Amino acid sequence: MSAPVIPLDTQDRETKPRWRWRGLVFVLLALLVSATIWLVWFSSVFVVRDIRVIGVTGSSAVKVLASAAVPLGVRMAHFDAGGATARIRLLPWVDSVEVRRGWPSDVILAVVPRIAIATQLGTGRGVDSSGVPFDAPGPLVKNLPAIDADGVGLVSAVSVWQSLPAPLRAKVVGVSATTRDDVVLILKSGAKVRWGSAEQSELKAQVLTALLQRRAGLYDVSAPELSTIQQEKAR
């Protein structure tokens, strides 16, 4: 049996409403997209009204705001986050920064400052845990050890300092180095410790702790298996 034949005018009547709905949906979507583009890029609805700094406070936050130089009233979509990031990174005491848009009208400057674990002798600069010297935004914490080193020597000295166990670190007031292999510790007693490189630091700390039972002017643990003391003093 052959299939029934549907008249052409009936097919047209069924097809036209579908195309009309599709056309209407397309127009509505186009209008929505256009309205969104206008709101974001050209209207005054989404503009920068507030700039917040997190991670630092006080005068440090003020310096971050000044360096960012984000103008109030600029459209959020036009706001140059990359430029603000680059300007904040110029502050020597900033370790990292992330500039975020907080829609609809906030800009957030998230800063991670460098933390001084020591000072660089003779410069008044702080030194962070990566061995990077920097000019701090305010006074440094008191009683930080002074490190007499620069470049790779500074990095090695910081590595050694951080490897020291707390009881031993409490006896150290200074560290010096000219290369990565000649780190010297200065003790509160005035004695010196030839530490050498940052390698075998755990073993060197154990050997030095034992050697400190004897009073001396110089302890050499640069080769911990062959450690020596010099200028031994009577108790």
Q: Are residues 124 and 72 in the same domain?
A: no
Q: What is the rounded CA–CA span in Å between residue 176 and residue 157? A: 7
For residue 144, give the nearest of 162, 156, 155, 184 by alpha carbon: 162
**For residue 8, what pLDDT band results from cuts at 50, 70 and 90?**
very low
Q: Are residues 228 and 130 in the same domain?
A: yes
**For residue 38, what pLDDT band results from cuts at 50, 70 and 90?**
very low
* Mean pLDDT across the chain: 86
Q: Are residues 144 and 204 in the same domain?
A: yes
For the stretch 156-166, pLDDT in tens is 999 999 999 99
**pLDDT average, residue stretch 62-68:** 96
Q: Are residues 97 and 184 in the same domain?
A: no
- Asked if 184 contacts 161 with a C-beta cutoff of 8 angstroms, the reply is no
The answer to whether position 228 is within a domain reads yes
Helix (H) or strand (E) segment spanning residue 148 = strand 146-148
Residue 63 has pLDDT above 90, yes or no: yes
**CATH code of the domain in which 178 resides:** 3.40.50.11690
The answer to whether position 25 is within a domain reads no
Report the amino acid identity of residue 197.
S
Q: Which domain holds residue 104?
A: 50-113
The answer to whether position 44 is within a domain reads no
Q: Are residues 179 and 105 in the same domain?
A: no
The answer to whether position 165 is within a domain reads yes
The answer to whether position 18 is within a domain reads no
Q: Are residues 203 and 218 in the same domain?
A: yes
For residue 107, give the nearest of 81, 88, 83 by alpha carbon: 81
pLDDT attached to residue 37: 53
Q: Are residues 85 and 177 in the same domain?
A: no
Q: Are residues 57 and 95 in the same domain?
A: yes
The answer to whether position 147 is within a domain reads yes
> Any idea which residue has 């975020």 for tokens?
100
> Any idea which residue has 């007031």 for tokens?
173
Contacts of 163 (CB under 8 A, 6+ apart): 198, 201, 202, 205
Q: Indicate the DSSP class of residue 116.
A: -
Q: Are residues 123 and 201 in the same domain?
A: yes
Residue 226 has pLDDT above 90, yes or no: yes
Q: Which of 67, 95, 113 represents a domain boundary (last residue)?
A: 113
Flag the least confident range among 39-53, 87-101, 122-136, 139-153.
39-53
**pLDDT average, residue stretch 73-77:** 85
Q: Are residues 123 and 184 in the same domain?
A: yes
Q: Are residues 160 and 223 in the same domain?
A: yes
Q: Are residues 108 and 205 in the same domain?
A: no
For the stretch 113-151, pLDDT in tens is 999 999 999 999 999 999 999 999 999 999 899 999 999
